[in-house]
Structure 1
Amino acid sequence: MLTFIFWFCFVLAFVHYAAYPAVVILLARGKRSRISQLQPQPPLPSVTLIVAAYNEAAVIEQKIQNSLSLEYPKEFLEVMVVSDGSSDSTPERVACYAHQGVVSLHEAKRRGKTAALNRAVGRAKGEIVLFSDANTFYDPTAVLELVKHFADPKIGGVCGRKSILKEEKRDSSRGDGLFWQVESLLKTAESTLGSIPTADGEIFAIRKALYKELAQDTINDDTAITFEIVRQGYRVIYEPKAVSRESASITLKEDMAVKARMVYGGYQSLWRHRDWLLPPRDGFAVQFLLHKTLRHTMPFLLLGVLLSNLTLNGRFYDWFLACQVVLYLVAGVGAIARTAGVEFSWAYIPLYYCAMNISALTGFAYFIKGRSLTEIWTKAER
């Protein structure tokens, strides 16, 4: 029985980290992609760029200036900032740009991001709505690179590439930066084959006509929107040339809180779409399970491998157990050293990996307990 548990958990982890990416990338290489060959063609669609902001006074003006400077015809680009419950000067700062056409939607009562997005999309004038965050900044041609794909009537949504800035003062920039580089490679391949299993809400454009109002308690709005578009028979693809840049969390603790919230949302999505995913009804469902769900369940797989490995004998099992012990010891040394104000660069990746899996356990606990978003959401330091 313990041998079965070991190999069951080992194989699932191997599928997520190695087999699935390898198969998807190899299949994508055998299928010619037109994504990188497309060029923006007139007539360009009208676009509403929706910026969700909550107490973002520190960055909102920089975000607005970045949005207004994008290389897209001004008559076709509407910039809208939706801010619910902000208690700082965010609404006042946004209002200063009204003369430049920036639309401000502010409510004193905080009802959450999903309610804000529902309200903003309802007021948007553009054929295309582009979702963004206040702390993400687009490359000049980002909107052009996104909207060129909507010339294909089968495309319902386009996600851009999220890039993490390398900053020494940002504790998570190395780990997050590496993670998003790998994600970009995998999403490029998935997009070539069909649809990506989930988009990134920092730079995600969709046809407004396909938007379905989000449930008030939705955690991962970008995942929910992706599912609704694919349910309607459209593709959601990835455009790596449309780049959004942002800073990582200042501390690893903040990053862990963000990841826990994302994992909570992943389990919520799995449960709400269980008729589609369990068992998987199509290739998109398989992609979601292998790309996203296996990542969220990785702590349980790692525990299964470790605990069963303790009782198994043989050269391979002894060697593999030693590797696990070294990994966790290095992560532990790195964590203890940090409490003393010392950082070992060689311990960072094992520490980051273990921290993200602890976050996944926390996210699962949130899901089981049915925690509300307001209970678990804390604003990261900018």
Structure 2
Amino acid sequence: MLELVFWASVGLLAYVYAGYPVLAIAIARVRPRATRKQPITPSVTVIITAYNEEKDIALKVRNVLALDYPQGRIDVIVASDASSDGTDDIVRGLGIGGVRLLRVEGRQGKTACQNAAAAAASGDILLFTDATTRIATDALRAMTRNFHDPAVGCVAGRLSYVAQGDDATGRGGTSYWNYEIMLRMAESEIGSLIGVSGCLYAVRRSAYRDIAPELISDFVVAMLVREQGLRTVLEPDAMCYETTLDHPDRELAMRVRVGMRSLSALASQKRFLNPFRFGAFAWQLWSHKLLRYLSPVFWMLALLANAALALQGRYAWLLALQLALLSAGLLGFASPRLPGKSRLLAKPYYFLLTNLASAVSLFRFLRGERIVTWTPQR
């Protein structure tokens, strides 16, 4: 029984982190689903959701207005989640035509603000982006050309993380995201993404549906688009940039918040996990999201079963490997800012951090905790 538990847990971990990505990439190469792209310029409403972003909001609005897109075809809504700093006054003071402030009272959270802005928008395409995200000049044109294909309901931009320094958090976060982008590109070519980066994505206004405020919009939007028989695709030429967080505490807090909201989304939208109804999309949800959030449970079972087997004189070398990986990750936590160690420790450190975040998220979710609002971590 111990051996069965051990190998089953190891097998699930191997599938989640290696088997599923390899399988997804293989399917994408053998049977890719093309998107019919053509240069088009539909009207676009850019929605920037902000809470206390006085340091970045003016630069963000100017970044959006500098996009290579026809004048008169783009307008901007800054949806302020009852900001208590100077965010609202800065937006009002810009005095730029086509830029308006939508203040949402009551501190309702990012998703509620996006719902309100979508209801007030006039563009055929809704472009959602964060205040701290810098968008490449040609990104919007690259995204809109995908909407020439009537099967496309949502388009994700390609986020690139820029490390603030030579530390384990920055290096680990960048490596992790490169792995994620590779997987998301494969999922897009299979048929549809199961989620997008909240930093930059676009949705047909006709396909947008209100999302419950307690749910994470950039995850649920792909589900609601899929339910309408539409695809969510990744546009690799639509680049946007964010700086990595510079401390483990901030990175962990961000990942726990995302994890809890994603688990809430999976629980409330569990119908999408039904493979008989949603096919490959359900398989992707199981593999990329649910099983990954359960990976700390598999790892703990593998570690405990391995320890018990080692006491019987079996698989001691595998226990040593597990403990070495764990020790390297813990050492990264102990010295995340040491440049000389960050290169060696970044990957095991970040692997441990993401699993710790998943474990905390799962524990707090099962306790009944929910997160609706957010506070900028930068």
Q: TM-score, normalised by structure 1?
A: 0.92
Q: Which moved more, 1:274-283 or 1:208-217?
A: 274-283
Question: Aligned pair in 2 of structure 1 residues 374, 156: CA closer, same or farther (>3 Å)?
Answer: closer
- Partner of 2:238, secondary structure, is strand
Q: Which residue of 1 aligns with 2:207?
A: 210
Q: Which residue of 1 aligns with 2:286?
A: 289
Q: Which residue of 2 aligns with 1:235?
A: 231
Taking the aligned partners of 1:275 and 1:310, their CA distance within structure 2 comes to 38
Taking the aligned partners of 2:339 and 2:23, their CA distance within structure 1 comes to 41
Query: Identity over the aligned pairs, expressed in percent?
Result: 33
Q: Which residue of 2 aligns with 1:180?
A: 177
CA deviation vs aligned residue, 1:198-217 (integer Å, no higher than 9, x gap) = 11111111111111111122
Deviation at 1:337? 4.1
Q: Which residue of 1 aligns with 2:31?
A: 31
- Partner of 2:181, secondary structure, is helix
Could you tell me which amino acid in structure 2 is paired with residue 40 of structure 1? P
Unaligned runs of 5+ in 1: none
Q: Which residue of 2 aligns with 1:90?
A: 87
CA deviation vs aligned residue, 1:60-85 (integer Å, no higher than 9, x gap) = 11111100000011211111110021
Taking the aligned partners of 2:205 and 2:95, their CA distance within structure 1 comes to 23
Deviation at 1:170? 7.1
- Partner of 1:224, secondary structure, is helix
Whether the 8 Å CA contact 1:170–1:247 is kept in 2: the answer is no
Question: Aligned pair in 2 of structure 1 residues 238, 342: CA closer, same or farther (>3 Å)?
Answer: closer
Alignment equivalent of 2:46, drawn from 44, 49, 61: 49
Q: Which residue of 2 aligns with 1:327?
A: 325
User: Does the alignment pair 1:277 with 2:276?
Assistant: no
Question: Aligned pair in 2 of structure 1 residues 374, 195: CA closer, same or farther (>3 Å)?
Answer: closer
Whether the 8 Å CA contact 2:80–2:113 is kept in 1: the answer is yes
Q: Which residue of 2 aligns with 1:225?
A: 221
User: Does the alignment pair 1:139 with 2:136?
Assistant: yes
Deviation at 1:3? 1.3
Deviation at 1:241? 0.8
Q: Which residue of 2 aligns with 1:336?
A: 334
Taking the aligned partners of 1:93 and 1:317, their CA distance within structure 2 comes to 62
After the TM superposition, which residues 1-382 of structure 1 pair with which residues of structure 2 at under 5 Å, given as runs?
A: 1-32=1-32, 34-35=34-35, 38-41=37-40, 44-168=41-165, 172-218=169-215, 220-277=216-273, 281=277, 282-312=279-309, 317-337=315-335, 344-345=341-342, 346-373=344-371, 377-381=374-378
Whether the 8 Å CA contact 1:50–1:80 is kept in 2: the answer is yes
CA deviation vs aligned residue, 1:288-319 (integer Å, no higher than 9, x gap) = 11011122111111111111011225998222
Unaligned runs of 5+ in 2: none
Number of aligned residue pairs: give it. 375
Taking the aligned partners of 1:197 and 1:325, their CA distance within structure 2 comes to 33
Deviation at 1:338? 5.5
- Partner of 1:302, secondary structure, is helix
Question: Aligned pair in 2 of structure 1 residues 338, 273: CA closer, same or farther (>3 Å)?
Answer: closer
Taking the aligned partners of 1:74 and 1:173, their CA distance within structure 2 comes to 37
- Partner of 1:322, secondary structure, is helix
Q: TM-score, normalised by structure 2?
A: 0.93
Question: Aligned pair in 2 of structure 1 residues 338, 32: CA closer, same or farther (>3 Å)?
Answer: closer
Whether the 8 Å CA contact 1:266–1:296 is kept in 2: the answer is no
- How well do the aligned residues superpose, as a CA RMSD in angstroms? 2.2
Deviation at 1:332? 2.5
- Partner of 2:127, secondary structure, is strand
